[in-house]
Structure 1
């Protein structure tokens, strides 16, 4: 359950004109033309306007975990406008979160057949491919998304690319992507935490501390970030700071796995 919740958090953190085109191949980024995100483009027909209302409603339900309603709204949107790419994108997201991988893949690819240059679609499909053990293909999609000059959320594909490189156990490449994510959005909490975690694994404890200070200045600490801070200060021999983190872990996250590890003395 904990791992499933973590996968959901990763996806939601990272997620959120079209001329018809044929993909060079299923799941192949190819040389698709760059285009604006369809979410930034006004519907061109009354049918698309109705479809967009349902997709927007479905996305709202998706974000609160009502994937069944999100699927229903996407299907209603497609009844209004059978080629409406954002509806296929929503289907892909919902199917992905309920772990129906075959229809998720089919839905993402259908969305990209209608809008191959949409950066949001490429970001979502790229991360999906990474979760399916197709990291190299996923990274191609994520790179295409990040390169799109019309995309206002390049921090998302950079973050997903970093996570994808972590799946390949390539900390150096992941760190480069997370640095790009923070450059695109200095408040990207997930990227800042991952940078701190990578620095810790590399024995760069002062750098870990610096990333964590920046993270905690911008957002409330999590059990994971407090635990990382505690272990960092322990490595640096800063006993007062370590004790402060320990007190915070106990008072705010007493039921967390990190607190249990602290009490058992399992620091690594």
Structure 2
């Protein structure tokens, strides 16, 4: 956790005065006697499906309907924030996330989503605090997602060492986490640890037969760094064959590898 401790004129904070982060089960899993809760949950479930299908207008309607049924249901405001963030209406997203966090300060799903939103808006320290709170919550079913988001947030702060630690935690939770493995390879390449970078990129390629331009370009640069000319040439040919118009292939032709 990123915790600041101020000591002024020799004063100290007693253990009783220190407030530990709240730990809650996800609000969607908690029982409630609120009359409108069943309707709110149904609308959030529908809205989440519409969000995943990129039907943003309908997803927003479902979020608002859920709030109408139960204005104390944090996932309804979380859904609203996610929709607004997805369509880049960040000023509208922020109060929705804030209300979700006010209603359920220890909800790991809220802290994960709101934490990443804060990171994406340049508030990395505040975002990291929420992400790590979510990752350490024993009730969170997807702690790897929060660790991966924390890694991405730390990359925004250009802290490769701390980011590597969070990505390693993410992969420990989910060994299929392609995003974390990609950035572990990328970080190790930047830190001149070519063999370790190659191990990560090879692992990722074995787990994901479909290989995008980013992954091929990274693998090419790693093999080139290691002096494996034949392997680098193979990836260059794959770039030419599959992504001839890509920026990565143009960089290869121009000798821009950094």
TM-score category of the 2 structures, normalised to the smaller one: 0.7 to 0.9
| Distance in 1 separating the partners of 2:68 and 2:101 | 19
Higher-RCO chain (CA-CA 8 Å, sequence separation at least 6): 1
Residue matched to 2:77: 88
Is there any run of 5+ residues in structure 1 with no aligned partner, and where?
1-29
* Aligned equivalent of 1:35, options 1, 9, 24: 24
1:256 counterpart = 2:246: yes
* Aligned equivalent of 2:203, options 214, 225, 243: 214
SS at match of 2:36: helix
Q: How high is the TM-score relative to the length of structure 2?
A: 0.87
Question: What are the Cα deviations for residues 171-219 of structure 1, in whole angstroms up to 9, with x where unaligned?
Answer: 1111111111111111110000000000011111111100001111111
Residue matched to 2:3: none
Q: How high is the TM-score relative to the length of structure 1?
A: 0.84
Aligned-residue CA RMSD (Å) = 1.6
Question: Contact 1:43–1:52 at 8 Å: present in 2 too?
Answer: no
Range that drifts further, 213-222 or 256-265: 256-265
Within a 5 Å distance, the mapping from 1:161-176 to structure 2 comes to: 161-176=150-165
State the shift of 1:144 in Å.
0.6
Which structure has the larger Rg? 2
* Aligned equivalent of 1:145, options 130, 134, 138: 134
Range that drifts further, 254-263 or 155-164: 254-263
Question: Contact 2:34–2:70 at 8 Å: present in 1 too?
Answer: no
Residue matched to 1:196: 185
Question: What are the Cα deviations for residues 64-89 of structure 1, in whole angstroms up to 9, with x where unaligned?
Answer: 32222211110111112222211100
- The alignment covers a number of residue pairs equal to 239
Residue matched to 2:219: 229
Distance change in 2, residues 1:42/1:60 (3 Å)? farther
1:244 counterpart = 2:228: no
